[in-house]
Each structure stands twice: as C-alpha cells, then as structure tokens.
Amino acid sequence: MNDLTTTGGVLPPAPSDMTARRKEGQSIAERFMAGVQESFPTISIKGKEWAFKYQGQISRVPDRHLDVVLADASSAIAKVFYIKGYAEGDTNPPDCWSIDGVKPDPSVPHRQSPTCPGCKQNVFGSKITPAGKQAKACQDSRRIAIALPHDLGQNKVGSVMLRVPQSSLRPLREYIAMLNAHGYDPNGCITRMSFEQESAFPKIKFVFHAALTNEQYRAVLELEQHERTKRMLSAPITGAASEELDEESAGEVRSAATHEEAPAVPTPPPVAEPPRRAAAPPPTAAAGCDLPGTRARRAPSAGGSFRDRGRACRS
C-alpha cells in the first residue's frame, strides 16, 4: 500500500514540528501498527503436498513437483519451541521462539534461556522422536521468498513465502553450494522442488531446472529489494502455522540446524548438475510453467485466489 487516500486529492505539507520529531526518531506510527500481523501468501508442504495459502484460501497442487525461483532468504534460522510438544491442528503460539536464532523474542510467554545457542532445548537429545531418534525440542526453519516464473515482470502477486523445515535445511544448503560452484546464484535459475519419496515426512529435494533470461533476472532483483519481501522474511512468529514443523526428522540435520561447523558438501549427482557458465542452457519453459515467448497462463491479482497458481507452474 503506497498510495495514500485523501479527501482533498493532494497531500499537503506535514507540520514542520512533526517532521522534525520524526527525523529524531519520535514517530508514533509504529504504535498504531504494532500487534497486527500482516498476511503473506505461503507455500505449504504439509502431508508432502504443495499448496498455496493466502487470506484463508487454499489452492492445492496435485503434482509432485513445483518450479520456482528462489528469490531471497532470511539470513538467520528461526526457532520454535513448545513445552508440551506440538500437536496436529494446534493454533496456539509457541512457548518460546526466535526469528534470528540468537535470542528469544521479547514477547515469548515462557523464555527457556537468555540466548538460543546456550539453551538446553536447542541441543540434540533434548527430545526423542516417536521413532526413537535424538532430536532438538526447539525446531529450526529458514524462510525463503519464492517467485513463480510465470509471474516475473507481470506485476502479479509477487513473492510467496516458503518455510524450509529442519529436515530440508541440509538439502537446501548442498543445492545452493552446488549452484555456487557452477557460477549460479539461486535467484538466477528455475529450481524444481519435489519431495523425497523414501522419507516418511515432507523432505524437500531441490534440482536445477532452467536458466532465467536477463529480463526475468532483473524482475527477480526488483522483487528481492521490495519492502514487502523484506517484511515477509522478518515477520514475527505468531502461531503454530507460522513455521513448518517436522517431528520425525529433527535428528538428521545437526550441522545444518546449529551453529556448529558444517561438514564438506558432497559432490552432487550428475543428474542434478547445471551446465557451467560458458555453456548456460537457453531459457526453456518447464512443462506448465510459462516463460517469455510462450503462451501465458492466467495468474491471480494481489487480492485474488491462488487457484490458478497451482496450475501455472507445474507439470
């Protein structure tokens, strides 16, 4: 919302004393906005099914993969802890949480420790899963701003938030490291996301699919710098639905989910390897995912349904 509605049509100059106070950091605007959570479109992975969720509307994607552009990511790991554990369908806020992975948010009702690295709930063995695995009672996730290829440069809804759960943090890290080794940033290509079929829980697999055109890449950069994208990646955790949780997988991602040094990234399998910079592939449309020069599918407006989104970027 950048357009200001006025009764006179033109916004008059602000009182000079107010402008001076605002420059001194004495604005009261934040008081009026505090406590009201902004709604962002998200991608759900519950039950190993892709679904777009926005303002109460849910549009499920029946296919097993989803083609996206990884536009930006939060610089820190978010943390969520429930004293009695998380129960399916629980909508209550966590007992303790952190958006930066350094210290609990000031608003948490039951702070477990002054800092996250020193918290007893943040160590493996603080929880045992139903499968008998050692896990962390406090679960980790990373927020990613996703762009859908068919939306780029068309003034559509913009970025969508994906919360990568603890079990998928290492696969994400390995994929980004592989792209980096071949001269790619994640916002310069189309990534195909699917689920590890052998896993009992939603564990995401990331595979290079196609390169972006310069026009698409510039649109991604604009999306990355947009204020709404920045708010999306730093919004407070307000309930169980705020982060993706995985109960069975917490013990498998120790190096990716803690501040410990991670092991060397293994060599990626050839099937997932993108071409080197000198032989970058020409932009090709993924099945059902429109790129410039192909027939565009209808995409919803900012306030519309995500029903067509589920159809527009899958095969």
Q: What is the predicted pLDDT for the residue at 57?
A: 84
Residues near 46 by beta carbon (within 8 Å), at least 6 away in sequence: 202, 244
> How does the average pLDDT of the chain come out, rounded?
75
Is residue 7 exposed (0-12), middle (13-18) or buried (19+ Cβ within 10 Å)?
exposed
> For residues 64 and 312, is the Cβ–Cβ distance under 8 A?
no
* 249-282 per-position pLDDT tens digit: 433 333 333 333 333 333 334 444 444 544 444 4
- Going by C-alpha positions, the residue among 285, 315, 1, 278 that lies closest to residue 152 is 285
Contacts of 251 (CB under 8 A, 6+ apart): 124, 129, 133, 134, 135, 136
What does the pLDDT average to over 112-116? 94
Specify the pLDDT at position 293: 38
Mean pLDDT within 237-253: 48
Residue 216 gets which letter from DSSP? H
Residue 85's pLDDT is 72
| Biggest CA pair distance of the chain | 67
What integer pLDDT is reported at residue 157 of this predicted model?
54
The CA R_g of the chain, rounded to the nearest whole Å, is 21
What is the mean pLDDT of the segment spanning 308-314?
A: 48
Show the tokens assigned to 101.
């992975």
pTM over 0.85: no
148 C-beta neighbours (distance < 10 Å), count: 24
